[in-house]
Structure 1
């Protein structure tokens, strides 16, 4: 009777180390860019982590890299779903997707059109042998977060604020950046709360199993005493 108890506890407790540090990963529109973050629910972020970008068929669309805060940007060029994948080591792999509809909205945004027009204007000025500047780990489709044009989800109060008349593009970009900075800690706190609840559920399940085995011991002991 003792052996099944230890076997059951070993099976239940085995996954707990993997749950100790859940991966936090998300991607969302940011002007002409896709902005994302990669890290863990305990607050540690993935620093200088390569992030591969793929389409749904597994074809590579590019690569970017997280910064010191676990953040990255990627400029999409195709209206397909973008799958982001980052190997964080120790068996932790972050994989998350931005839908084709969201990517298409980014490509059709005023910020994306303005960026394309600016690139077209500067292209003739470059010499025939000049190479395009490359940044962020060899991915020319990314640039620092501070340069990301403003964009917020349609219909939100943030979108109404950013779209308010009289605001310059610099003001809109600054407001959008402030909103993103304020929301990041909230997302991490929500993930940590979920992790805590999962751990409590596991411990509660262990207690339930122990209670069943305790009841079994009691019944077996009573039978032996009667025998």
Structure 2
């Protein structure tokens, strides 16, 4: 009797939905803004239209993702850039890059007190040691090497969260099982 009740109760419990989250991020890439759009299960948004807006909602431009879910956008104004892509089924990716970061890309960086006091930053020394073409090639190589690492890291974060949820559900079932066991033992002890 108790077994049928427990089995019936277990069958009535809702199963966890195997949903996925939208992942999106942007980062500086030379004089461009590079970004990625996809899902937490590792599927990336291929050939997705990405619209770019400022904080007031004015459209600054648009771009498309490549076969790996990455896109490039060249900013023209030092304003906050908001990147929006509609993946369908209610999934909308939206990520922004602050105006201060965009200003740095455009070479309009705000001098920090430490940099202006020393007169020369470490980046300034490194920039003088490499030609513009070498820096661009190095940036492209590093960007291409970091792409898969970023994707794996994001997928790992989401997988770990899903595993934690499943582990928590397992603990709950374990506690219910222990409670049923103790209740059954008490009932057996009272009947004897």
Is the shorter-chain TM-score for this pair beyond 0.5, marking a shared fold?
yes
Residues 6 and 98 (structure 1), Cα distance of their counterparts in 2 relative to 1, 3 Å cut? farther
**1: distance between equivalents of 2:72 and 2:61?**
12
Q: In 2, are the aligned partners of 1:49 and 1:86 still within 8 Å (CA)? A: yes
CA RMSD of aligned residues (A): 2.8
Distance change in 2, residues 1:177/1:168 (3 Å):
same
Contact kept, 8 Å, 2:29 with 2:143, in 1: the verdict is no
Question: Are the aligned partners of 1:35 and 1:73 in contact in 2 as well (CA < 8 Å)?
Answer: yes
Q: How far apart in 2 are the matches of 1:222 and 1:212?
A: 15
TM-score by length of 2: 0.75
TM-score scaled by length of structure 1: 0.65
**d(CA) in 2 for partners of 1:88, 1:50:** 9
Superposition deviation, residue 65 in structure 1: 1.1
CA contact (8 A) 1:5 1:213 kept: no
* 8 A Cα contact 1:32 1:109, kept in partner: no
Q: Provide Cα deviations, 1:30-77, integer angstroms capped at 9, x if missing partner.
A: 233212122234443211100121223433332211122322122223
Asked if 1:188 is matched to 2:189, the reply is no
How far apart are the structure 1 equivalents of 2:186 and 2:55? 61
For residues 161 and 5 of structure 1, do their structure 2 counterparts lie closer, same or farther at Cα, with a shift above 3 Å needed? Answer: farther
Shift of residue 103 of structure 1? 1.2
Higher relative contact order (CA 8 A, sep 6+): 1
Instruction: Please list the CA deviations of residues 11-47 of structure 1 after superposition, one character each: whole Å capped at 9, or x if unmatched.
Output: 6x13xx213xx43322112233212122234443211
After superposition, where does 1:36-115 map in structure 2 within 5 Å? 36-108=35-107
Higher Rg of the two aligned structures: 2
Structure 2, unaligned stretches of length 5 or more? 110-120
